Structure formats: C-alpha cells, structure tokens
Structure 1
Amino acid sequence: MTDASGRARLAVWVLTRTALLLCVFKAIPYPGPDVTADVSVIYQGWYEILRTGVFPRSDVTWQYPPGAALVILAPGAVPLPFLGYAGTFYLLTLACDALVYGLLRYAGGRAGRRTCGVWVWTAGVPLLGPTVYARYDLMVTAVAVAALLAGVRRPRVLGALVGFGALLKVWPVLLLTGLERGAVTRRAVGAAAAVGGGLALVFLVSMPGSLGFLTAQRDRGTEVESLGALVFHAGRWLGWEGRVMLHYGSVEFLGPYVPLVSALALALAAGALGWLLLWRWRARVFGPATAADAAFTGVLLFTTTSRVISPQYMVWLVGLGAVCMTFRASRMALPVGMVVGATGVTGLEFPIWFSHVVEGDVLGVGVVGVRNGVLVGAGVVACLRLWGEGGGAGARPVRECRVLVGGAAPEPPRLKRRRG
C-alpha cells in the first residue's frame, strides 16, 4: 500500500464519519423517519432504569443479554454533560468505529495480510446512513473484530472477547465455529465460558431481571424486512387478512400463518447451525483465514434466516467481512462484496423508503426482495467456498481484492493439512 492510498482511505473515513455525525446531530436532514429516537428516547429511558440497579423487565422492547446494560450505561460514565446522553452515545460509537478502522489497518500491514478489509469497513458502514450510529450494534461488532484479529495465536484473548461480546448480543459466540480443533478451541472456549459465565453470574446476583431476555421474544411476529416477510407482502396483494403494526419494538406482520412462517424461520436457523456443525466435523484444513471465513458465513446464515433482519444487523456482516478481506488466504471476496451491495440496498430500504416497505407497495417489496435475495445468494456462495476451504479438496484461493476493488495479487501461502 502506498502512502497516497493510505491518505485517501483515511480521508474517505473522516469525510463519511463526519457526515454521519452531522446526520445524527441533525445538523443536516436525512430522509425518512427519525432514527435517533432509539437513543434519545428508548436507550436513555433504559439508562434511567438501569442506573437504579434493575433491568427494565416491564419493557417488552428490552430483549438483550445482560451485558447490554454496560453499553446503555456507558454514556453516563463519560463526563460530557454539554452533549447530553444521546450526543455522548454517538461519540462513543464513533470511537468504536475508529477503533475498528485502526485494528484493520494495523492487521492489514502484517505478513500474509492486506488492506482490503479497511476499505470494506470504510465504505460499508456509511451505506447504512445514520442508523449505524444510532444503535449499539457497531460497538458489538468492534468487540467481534478485535476477537477475530486476535486469532489463533492468542486463543484465550479471542475467547475472552467472544464471551464478553456474547453478553452484549449473543451472536459473537459464532466466532468460535471456525477455530482449529484441539488446544486452540479448548483455550478459546474455556476463556469464553469463564468471561461470559462470570459476567452473567455477576449480573444475576447484582441486578434482578438479568435473564429476562431469554423469553422476551417468544411472542414476536415476523418483521416486515425479513426473508419470511416476503410471503406476507405477497399475501397482502392476494387478500391475506393480517396486519402490520409496531410490536416488540419493530414493525411486524401479525395474523394468520405468521406463527407458521416464524417457526419455519427458526427451523432454517437450526438447519444453518446443523450445517455449520457438519462443516466443522468434516473440516481438515484450518488456514489463517478459516476462523474469519467461518464466522462470517455463520453470522450471514443466521442473519438471513432470522425472523427479524433489522437494518443495523448489516454492520455485523460488514465488520466480519472486513476481517475476512484482511487475510490473503480468504475465499470470501465475492460474498463479502455481495454483502456490501446488500448493505447499500438496506440503507435505501430503511429509513429512506421505509414507508413504502410498511405500505407493501411495489417499491417497498422490491427493495426488500432485492436485499434479501442478495443475502441468500451471498450465503450460498459463502457456504460453498467454506466447504471447499475446510475440506482442502480443490481449494483455490480468491485473488486478493479483485472482486471488491480490482487488481491482481500474489498467491496466498499454502494451507497446512492438519489431522482432526
């Protein structure tokens, strides 16, 4: 990487993040509904309850593991009263964004690495618009990125970060699926269990209601942006007698056949987990990029099959995809590129055209269909490539960033075959 390209990348990051801050601080208008209300109203309301030492058990929108309380309480621990709760939250999110940028840049300069991941993060995050700074998912993604970059050389660090991340929003536990069997997995899983279990025990003893999230979503419907929602979008055109309403903090379909479609979504997620376990059982090759590739694939599968695909979930995939593209040996260039494209469509779907999505007109259904279709395609490609990578048979690394930013590159180092 030349100094000029590094300066250009930094300039893009600074410009795009300045624009995001101007949007969330409402210095410049952004089309669609106000996405900052989640912070200034919901998060701040939770903050007032959590600071008393209890979880908001009576609030159905609280659906998170107990570690999320640390994120919600964090703005109160930063002495910036002139910014208020919301302003401080946005700056903390910016700090996590900068941390990911720095980690990817540092990792990209090491042997066997590349700087493509920095570009994926720099370009992918702002595609979601101000939503990405008005939710706490970017902070969770920062923990997951740090864990994956710690890698197999520091499995206990990786495991500790995974345990902490899982207490924030569960999904980081999937980062353990691609670790090499044996000592690496034992150390990582042990550290994850110690940190996650220890923190969970502290919350259980000190704050009533810490485990309420386990049953908080059992009566949810199917969210209007999810894959299963396409059934009901089409059904409304054909006379389906259901309704769309704000339910459990998101806009969902409720009515006939919704429980069936939600159950099918859960079945698909279970099938995805089964596939990951089968891949892990079969895998014999664990190269430098395998942990990142498997984590990206696993989270992509669970995001796509979820009965709720909130827009901010895409930042999980952008972050994990950026880590994949930091490794020369990664085979995920095409699915990562597809995810970045889906992220851009998501930024149009919410908040800009969200009224069309709720209405279920051609534009709204079309944009959701395109986004979900790209995610499904990316999931299929990622599965095929991970399967070939783990088996080692005919594994052919994707050449650098050609799919994402163009250009050829040298072949990655050979993978070592390890005994299971």
Structure 2
Amino acid sequence: MKTTAARGSLPGLLVIWGLTRTALLLCVLKVIVFPGPDVTSDVSVIYRGWYDVLSTGTFPLDDVTWQYPPAAALAVLSPGLLPFLEYATAFFVLAFVADLVTLALLLYAGRGPGRTRRGAWVWVAGVPLLGPTVYARYDVMVTAVAVAALLAGARHPRLMGALVGFGALVKVWPALLLLAVRRRGAWVSAVVTGVGVAALFAVLMPGAFAFLGFQRDRGTEVESLGALVFHVARHHGWEGEVLLNYGSVEFLGPYVSWVSTGALFLTGAAFAWLVLWRVLACRFEPHTVADAAFVGVLMFTVTSRVISPQYMVWLVGLAAVCLCFRESRMGVPVGMVLVACLVTVLEFPVWFAHVVASDALGISLLVVRNGLLVAAGLLAARTLWGTTVPGRRAIPTASGSARAAEVRVPS
C-alpha cells in the first residue's frame, strides 16, 4: 500500500511543480506583476552588463558589485547558449531548467530502500515560497550542482569532489558539502578540480580574484541578523543611513564595522564548532553527509553579514537532500526553514520598503525570519551532534521504573 501511495503521489507532485514554476516564469517575464520592487533588474541590467564585459575575456575589474568567484562567469555567460532569446529571457529559461534538473535528481534519489520522496516535496514547495527571486538570480544553478554533488557522494566520491570543487568556484558555499565526507578520493578530487579551474581562469581572464577585495569591504546588509541592531537603533538616535552599497542595501555609519566584525566572529565560532564536531563524531550514517552540509550552510548563512533572499535557495536544496533519507532527523529544522522562506518573500520583495524604513512591520518580519533561521540552526546542530557524537544518554532501568540510569553509550 505504501508503494502504491508513493506512486500515486508522483503525478500530483509533478502537477504542483508545473503550476508553481509556470507562475514563477510568468512573474519574471512580467506577465504577472509581483508586488514590491522589480526583482528581475539584477538580470536585465547587472548580469547583462557583466555579460558584455566577460564576453571580452576579462572580469569587471572596476565594478565593486562583482563579488563572486571566477566560475560565476559561466553562469552569467550561460544565456549565450540560447542566442535566439533576449538575454534576460534566456537566463530565466536556464534557471527553470536548473530547477527541473534538481527535481529530477531528488526524485531519482528518493527511490529504493531507506529513501523517500519527502525531499522532492520539500523542493517543490520551498522554491515557490521564495517568489520570483529564485529565477532572477543564479543561485538555483549553483544549488543544482550542490544537490548533484551530495547525491553522488555515496557511490561516486570522486564525482562528488569534482562537483564540490567546481561549485565552490561558482559561489564558495558548496565547499561546506565536504564537512562529513571521509573518503579521501572526494577531497583530492575537490582540490584538484578547484585548483585546476581557478588556474585556468587566472591564466585566461585578468582579474579572476579581484572579488576578494570587494567582498572584504562589505558592510552590514539590512536583512542580516546583525542589521537588527541598527533597525532598532534608528529609533533611538543612531546617525547612520541606509544606502545601496556593494550591490546590496546596507547600513553605513557609526558602529557598523563593529557589528560586521561581530558577524565574522560568529562565523568563526560556527566554524570552530563544526571542526570540533568533525573531530568527535564517530557515527556516520548514509544521511550524515547531507545533514552536516545542511547544518554547516545554515550556520554560515545565519552568521553572515549578508542574508540575501536567494541564499534561502541553498537551504531548500540541502534540506531536500536531507529528507531524501528516511532516517534523517532534520525534519523539524527543515520545516522551520520552509516557514522562513514564506516570511522571506514577504520581507523581500513584497514589503521591502518597510524593511528599508525600519518600521514596525519591517523589523517584525526580520525578527521572525531571522529568529526562525537561528532556531533552525541551533536545533539542527544539536540533532547532528546527538546522532553522531558519543555521549551520555538516559536509558530505562531494568526494573522498568520511571527512573533512568545515566550510562555512557554510543549515540
């Protein structure tokens, strides 16, 4: 009966995917007007401008908004594969294809013993919750690479490593997918691929690593966790301002550098915790690699100086891979991330003006969204630790009484 039900759910899943993705395409093509600022301008203006520069064989050296590793150029140049379409339209079509590829990977991964289609459902539901921003940024393409890497890890560690190495040179964060990987082949493949691709860009295109300086100089973006300090401070005499800076809306003024430094400290603390976990963890199940990747990326997202709406696509993709495994215990954190996606589309683009104005609605949306992410990160980290690190666990006594004996047992 379970098999029959699972097969019966597939047509429904595909219908929902088709309807929601059609709606997203209609929004980015402006057949349907989505409330809030135009989210497609990044593609039609910024990406299009980068495309013109990159096509000449160099990176946009004088543009501080270019803050991406060198292989990101491939995503920006990809609409050239569809020369019969206008640039923005071609980009949206390729984002749609990346979405479809991700769904196909998750459906394939959901087959067999110990697997489930819950992961595919997470992807089908999570992406439209973020609104048209998903198709108006290249993050969905990176997420497709990351999902492919995680799902390849069990049987093809070298392929996983190659995909991770390539993905890290598109947008850095896929490097965290290796957190729980123990096979040396995956690490070697990742390093070889990463170094090889980086060297190729360094030789062929000037300015491949200029982004490092631009990224270093960023401030505190208005949607980040640290930004809540200034949203509140604006109502108590803080003399800073909100401006478009380095390609995002950021706080500028007194004490901003302090908060930005604090965010970097939290990121460092998260990394230290992950290293400690990796040293102490000794129980690895088939789902542990995906769970650890989800926890790592979630922690780095929460502590970042920037939490752009498209970052949530990464979390949805990794959450979907986690729930492809029936034994994964990340269900509650994944649910919290999905709720955070719904709040995210409300704070951007629907009511972004309220966020920029730091009014009650804008602050409330950020408190809820960022609070959900913090809670999800803490709960996911605790779950990962509890399922992989040996420790003290309460077990019933032999007499069957309500009391429990504390003994040291493997988790």
Distance 2:96 2:41 in 1: 18
CA offsets per residue over residues 197-243 of structure 1, 9 Å max, x none?
10100000000000111111222110000000000001001111100
Amino acid corresponding to residue 292 of structure 2 in structure 1: A
Q: Say which of 167, 170, 174 aligns to 1:168.
A: 170
The CA distance in 1 between the partners of 2:202 and 2:230, in whole Å, is: 39
Q: Which residue of 2 aligns with 1:47?
A: 51
Bigger-Rg structure (1/2): 2
Post-superposition offset of 1:152: 2.8
Please identify, of 3-12 and 247-256, the stretch whose mean Cα deviation from structure 2 is larger: 3-12
Q: 2:69 aligns with which of 65, 68, 93?
A: 65
Q: Return the letter of the residue paired with 1:147.
A: A
Q: Residue in 1 aligned with 2:401?
A: none
- Pair 384,147 (structure 1): closer, same or farther in 2 beyond 3 Å: same
Q: Secondary structure at the match of 1:55?
A: coil
Structure 1 SS opposite 2:215:
coil
How far apart are 1:342 and its partner, in Å? Answer: 0.3
Distance 1:395 1:345 in 2: 37
CA shift in 2, pair 1:157/1:394, >3 Å: farther
1:88 match: secondary structure = helix
Counterpart of 1:401?
none
The letter of the residue matching 1:335 is P
Shift of 1:78: 2.3
User: Residues 16 and 223 of structure 1: is their aligned pair in 2 closer, same or farther, counting only changes over 3 Å?
Assistant: same
- The aligned residue for residue 199 of structure 1 is 197
How do residues 258-407 of structure 1 correspond to structure 2 at under 5 angstroms?
258-393=256-391
Moved more, 1-10 or 101-110: 1-10
Instruction: State the match for 2:7 in structure 1.
Output: 3
Aligned in 2, Cα 1:276/1:330: closer, same or farther, shift over 3 Å? same
Q: SS where residue 73 of structure 1 aligns?
A: helix
Aligned to 2:32: 28
After superposition, give the CA deviation of every residue in 1:131-184 in whole Å (9 maximum; x if it has no partner). 00000000000000000001232110110000010010000000000113xxx1
The alpha-carbon distance between structure 1 residues 27 and 122, as it changes in their structure 2 partners (threshold 3 A), is same
1:246 aligns to what SS in structure 2?
Answer: strand
Compared CA separation, residues 247 and 336, structure 1 to 2 (3 A)? same
Q: Secondary structure at the residue paired with 2:145?
A: helix
Q: Give the aligned length.
A: 392
Mapped partners of 2:376, 2:43: distance in 1? 31
Aligned partner of 1:75 in structure 2 is 79
1:207 corresponds to which letter in structure 2? Answer: M
Aligned to 2:207: 209
CA distance in 1, matches of 2:78, 2:222: 31
| In 1: Cα distance, 2:217 partner to 2:158 partner | 37
Q: Which string of whole-angstrom CA distances, capped at 9 and with x for unpartnered residues, describes residues 385-406 of structure 1? A: 000111155799xxxxxxxxxx
Identical aligned residues as a percent:
62
Extract unaligned runs of 5+ from structure 1. Answer: 397-416
Question: Given residue 245 of structure 1, which amino acid in structure 2 is its aligned partner?
Answer: L
Corresponding residue for residue 154 of structure 1: 156
1:109–1:115 CA contact under 8 A, matched in 2: yes
Q: How do residues 14-25 of structure 1 correspond to structure 2 at under 5 angstroms?
A: 14-25=18-29
For each residue in 1:79-124, what CA deviation from the matched residue of structure 2 results, as whole angstroms up to 9, or x when unmatched? 3x2x300000001000000001000001101221100001100000
Structure 1 stretches of 4+ with a deviation exceeding 3 A read: 392-396
Q: Which residue identity lines up with residue 84 of structure 1 in the other structure? A: E
Letter in structure 1 aligned against 2:139: D
Alignment root-mean-square deviation, CA:
1.4
One-letter amino acid of the counterpart of residue 108, structure 1: G
Matched-pair contact (CA < 8 Å) for 1:75–1:88: yes
Q: In 2, Cα distance between the equivalents of 1:251 and 1:84?
A: 28
Contact 1:303–1:309 (CA under 8 A) maintained in structure 2: yes
Q: Secondary structure at the match of 2:296?
A: helix
Shift of 1:249: 0.5
Taking structure 1 as the reference length, the TM-score comes to 0.92
Task: Tell me which residue corresponds to 2:403.
Answer: none
Residue of structure 1 equivalent to 2:102: 100
* Paired residue type of 1:328: R
Q: 1:329 is matched by which residue type in structure 2?
A: E
CA distance in 1, matches of 2:302, 2:285: 26
Give a deviation string over 1:271-295, Cα, whole Å, max 9, x none: 0000000000000011000000000
| Distance (whole Å) between structure 2 residues aligned to residue 106 and residue 158 of structure 1 | 16
Question: Which string of whole-angstrom CA distances, capped at 9 and with x for unpartnered residues, describes residues 15-44 of structure 1?
Answer: 000000000000011100000000000001
For residues 38-78 of structure 1, what are the alpha-carbon distances to aligned partners after superposition, in whole Å with 9 as ceiling and x for unaligned?
A: 00000010000000000001001000000000111111122
Deviation at 1:350, TM superposition (A): 0.2
- TM-score of the two chains, using structure 2 as the length reference: 0.94
Asked if 2 retains the 8 angstrom alpha-carbon contact of 1:388 and 1:395, the reply is no
Q: Which AA in structure 2 matches 1:52?
A: T
SS at match of 1:95: helix
Question: In structure 1, what is the equivalent of residue 88 of structure 2?
Answer: 86
Partner Cα separation in structure 1 for residue 55 and residue 387 of structure 2: 47
SS of 1:328's equivalent in the other structure is coil
Q: Kindly tell me: are residues 98 and 392 of structure 1, through their superposed partners in 2, closer, same or farther at Cα, counting changes over 3 Å? A: farther
Deviations 1:353-396 (A, max 9, x none): 00000000000010011000000000000010000111155799
2:120 corresponds to 1:118 = yes
Q: 1:44 to 1:395 in 2, by over 3 A?
A: farther
Determine the C-alpha separation between the residues in 2 that align with 1:284 and 1:389. Answer: 10
| Counterpart residue number, 1:403 | none
Shift of residue 3, structure 1, vs aligned partner: 3.0
